[in-house]
Structure 1
C-alpha cells in the first residue's frame, strides 16, 4: 500500500526551544476536553526532565504545525502526544505521521498504544488507521494497533 506524502511535510526532532509551542498545542488540543470531563483545565508547567527525548515537530512548508512524542517499552511504541494546529487537520498530515509511526512499529514488531481523554474526536481517526479500543474508563479511552502487517511505503 502506498501512502502519498502531503505536500511539503517534514519531521524534525524537537529541541528545548520547542517547549512553548508544544505546550500551546497541548492546551489547544486538551483544554476543552479536560474542562468537559473534569470541570477544569490545569496546564502543566513544563515538559519534564526527559524532554525533548522522543519528541518530534511536524512541519508544513517549513512552518511548525504539530508535534508527536513516542516512548518505547517491551514490544510497544506508545504515542504520548500527537497534536496538530487546527488549520493543519483534515489535510493528510495526521495520516502521514501516523503511517510513519505504524511503519516504525511494524519494522520493530511492536504494537502501538495510545491513551485518549474520553469523548475525543481522535478516536475515529485512530480506528480508521487500525486501532481498536482495549479499555474505557469514565475519563480515558485506551487504544492499540497490532502492527503485524508489512510496513507501509509512501511516495514523495
Structure 2
C-alpha cells in the first residue's frame, strides 16, 4: 500500500462519462451511508434518484488514484459563483489527503476566474469539519443541510 503522500501525488481528475453513472451512484451511496444512517434518513433508492435527477456529465469529474476510481466531484457554474455540488471519496480511501488535493485544484480553478465556491453539507456529517478546515465559512442552514462559501482569493481590480 502506498503512503498517504504518494497517494496524494497520484490523484487524477478525469472527465466523467455517462458510462460512469452506476459507479458514481454507488460511490455516493457508500460515502453518505454513515451520515444518513446517523440521522435516520438512509434510503439508497432515494439517494440514487436524487443523484440521477441532477446528474450533469459535463460538470462531473472522476477522482482516480493509481488508476482506480475512488470518488468524484461535481462543480456547477452558476455564473456568479461555483457550486461544489458533490465531492465524494469512498470510505476506504478517506483520510489519505485525496479530498484535500481535489479541493486545492478546485480552489486554484475558482481563483483563476475570480469565483467564490458554495457547498452544502448534511448536518451531523464529518464533511462540515472538512469544509471549515479548508477555509469555507458557514452562511446558513436548512432543515437537513449547512451551507458554506469560500471566497475567491483573486481580487478584482477595477483600475490599474
Q: Note whether the superposition's TM-score is higher than 0.5.
A: yes
Q: 1:68 aligns with which of 73, 76, 89?
A: 73
Instruction: Give, in whole Å, the separation in 1 of the partners of 2:149 and 2:26.
Output: 26
Match of 1:154 in 2: none
1:63-109 Cα offsets, whole Å, 9 max, x none, are 10110001011321101110001121111111110011111111111
Aligned residues: 147
Match of 1:8 in 2: 10
Query: What CA RMSD, in Å, does the superposition of the two structures yield over aligned residues?
Result: 2.1
Contact between 1:37 and 1:139, CA under 8 Å: does it hold in 2? no
Contact between 1:75 and 1:109, CA under 8 Å: does it hold in 2? no
Unaligned runs of 5+ in 1: 151-156
Q: CA deviation at 1:50?
A: 5.3
Structure 1 outlier segments of 4+, above 6 Å? none
Match of 2:158 in 1: none
Q: CA deviation at 1:38?
A: 5.4
Instruction: Give, in whole Å, the separation in 1 of the partners of 2:28 and 2:17.
Output: 16
Q: CA separation of 1:123/1:75 partners in 2, compared to 1, >3 Å: closer, same or farther?
A: same
1:100-147 Cα offsets, whole Å, 9 max, x none, are 111111111100000111111011111111101101233110011002
Instruction: Name the SS of the counterpart of 2:48 in structure 1.
Output: coil
Q: 1:136 aligns with which of 134, 141, 146?
A: 141
1:39-79 Cα offsets, whole Å, 9 max, x none, are 44223236247531200001000110110001011321101
Instruction: Give, in whole Å, the separation in 2 of the partners of 1:67 and 1:34.
Output: 19
Match of 2:3 in 1: none
Unaligned runs of 5+ in 2: 1-5, 156-160
State the structure with bigger RCO (CA 8 A, min sep 6), 1 or 2. Answer: 1
Q: Any residues of structure 2 matched to 1:1-156 within 5 Å, and which?
A: 6-37=8-39, 39-41=41-43, 42-45=46-49, 47-48=52-53, 51-149=56-154
Higher helix share: 2
